[in-house]
Amino acid sequence: MTSTTRLDSLAAGGTDHVFARVRLADGLTIVLKTAPGADVANEVGLLPGLFPPATEAWENEDRYEDWLTGGALGQGGGLYLDVPVQAIRDLIEQHGGEHPDQEGDDTASEATGQDETAESIVIQALAEWGIAAHRDDDAGNTWLAIGHDQTRAGFPHMLAEPYVVLYLYNDTDEEEITVTRAPADGDVWDVVRGDGTGAECTLLTRPADQLTACVEAIADWITTPQVTPDPAIRLAELNETE
């Protein structure tokens, strides 16, 4: 029988209300939230390239959020609720068991034969810190939203709680805000924070090859208490209008 040491450890000790990652032998990734000793995981995320079995255990998909794939049909992925730990174990074993290097990089792009989108890259990077992100869009623009309260499931209440958004920005030809393609030369990562009242300001801007700095800044922001309304954001907005 294939070993599932990482999953067994998470199932026994719980994940402390944040997502924990399990790398599979073929480089694909599962993230999950579970309570200590529970037989059922509260939330299980399959990153793009990984498809759930057609069984009852995987029927409870959170299609409204669809935060891992952004609805990218045919690429797999998805968020599933109340999945038995045994069903997760079975899926891991179907992919050859757990990867011997649980700290290494994911290779979902190799499995799909496609370049990873910014969305996929960011979600994987944040998942390593136990941080969940959710895709949003408007008028052709796309971005990832991260709520300050990582203990609650679902899309952050952006008009009621602090949040940050992260996206690729490029104005070489025409202004573009996106997470639906791979990072390219000339792109920058923009991290914007909001206080839940509609006020926003830039937290960080970095070149496309410096995502790590953005992820670390978001992790630091999540561990820092926030206030609403945020006087620092109000002051930044005031300075921008002068």
pLDDT digits (tens, 9 = 90+) for 28-72: 889 899 999 999 999 998 887 788 898 999 999 875 444 444 443
Are 83 and 39 within one domain?
yes
Q: Tokens standing for 238?
A: 């005031």
Are 56 and 123 within one domain?
no
* SS3 of residue 29 by DSSP: strand
Q: In this structure, what DSSP letter does residue 98 have?
A: B
Are 135 and 42 within one domain?
no
pLDDT of residue 167: 97
Average pLDDT of the chain to the nearest whole number: 84
Residues forming beta bridges with residue 205, ordered by sequence position:
190
Spatial separation of the C-alpha atoms in residues 16 and 22, rounded to whole Å: 15
pLDDT of residue 109: 41
Are 9 and 75 within one domain?
yes
Are 95 and 123 within one domain?
no
Domain tally, the chain: 2
Spatial separation of the C-alpha atoms in residues 165 and 201, rounded to whole Å: 10
Please name the amino acid found at residue 179: V
pLDDT of residue 82: 95
pLDDT of residue 175: 86
Pick from 237, 70, 240, 228: nearest CA to 159: 228
Spatial separation of the C-alpha atoms in residues 229 and 235, rounded to whole Å: 11
Q: How many helices (H) and strands (E) does the chain have?
A: 6, 10
Q: pLDDT tens digits for 83-111?
A: 999 999 999 999 889 988 887 654 444 44
Domain boundary among 98, 113, 128: 113
Domain boundary among 55, 89, 113: 113
- Grade residue 231 by pLDDT with cuts at 50, 70 and 90: confident
Are 56 and 106 within one domain?
yes
* Cβ proximity of 70 and 142 under 8 Å: yes
Are 105 and 66 within one domain?
yes
Q: Is the predicted pLDDT of residue 13 greater than 80, yes or no?
A: yes
In which element (H, E) is residue 20 found? strand 20-23
pLDDT of residue 88: 97
Q: Is the predicted pLDDT of residue 125 greater than 70, yes or no?
A: yes
Domain extent at residue 201: 119-241
- Which of 15-19, 86-90, 102-106, 134-138 shows the lowest mean pLDDT across its residues? 102-106
Domain boundary among 64, 89, 113: 113
Greater pLDDT, 113 or 32 = 32
Are 167 and 235 within one domain?
yes
pLDDT of residue 74: 40
pLDDT of residue 63: 59
Are 125 and 230 within one domain?
yes
Residues forming beta bridges with residue 135, ordered by sequence position:
144
Taking CA atoms, 52 is separated from 1, 74, 110, 134, 156, in Å, by 20, 12, 19, 20, 26
Are 85 and 172 within one domain?
no
